[in-house]
Amino acid sequence: MGCDCQTYICASAYINPCSEGTETSIVATFTGMADLVVFFNGNARKAGVQVVEGAIIVLPTGMLNENYVHKVEVYNSGTLEACYKLHTYIADSAVIPLPPTEGNVIAKEYVGNGNNVQTFTGLGGNILLYVVMNGQSYTKDFWIQVGSTVTWKDPSMTFEGSIILNWY
């Protein structure tokens, strides 16, 4: 792995040093375990991150340096999928820190049931980081999790279409 990139796609991320995870503008092109190689000053770091096609990729904050342009390579089962130049910025207080992770962040896609409450198999006792529905990301300010069941705080909201959960 490494040095196979001919072209790069520009991407960005706002880093909150208090956060264990950093949301990037990189969108996964496949579902599964992605091997990500992040280059900083000629040194490479590798991490495995569970991704869902169409969802943003969250990188461990410790892999990134603030105010730098990192080269990032994304691999799917050893095959290079894409190369990025990820420009990182120091975030202001508007960026909500993601909670600490105790391993890989998991992403899984579901189909909404049309109700205000939905039980998601696979979520179990894991801590939900955010919900992506129809391309919009929602933090815990918008829902309540009890075990595998998630309820929108706004009773008029329903789980519709493609639902992507990110948890650890």
pLDDT (0 to 100) of residue 146: 86
The amino acid at residue 75 is Y
Residues 6+ apart with CB under 8 A from 120: 108, 110, 148, 149, 150, 163, 165
| pLDDT block averages, 10 residues each, the chain of length 168 | 77 81 87 90 87 85 86 94 90 53 66 92 77 79 87 92 80
pLDDT (0 to 100) of residue 13: 87
Domain residue extents for the chain: 9-90, 106-167
* Domain over 9-90 is classified CATH 2.60.40: yes
Residue with token string 């696979």: 122
pTM value is 0.59
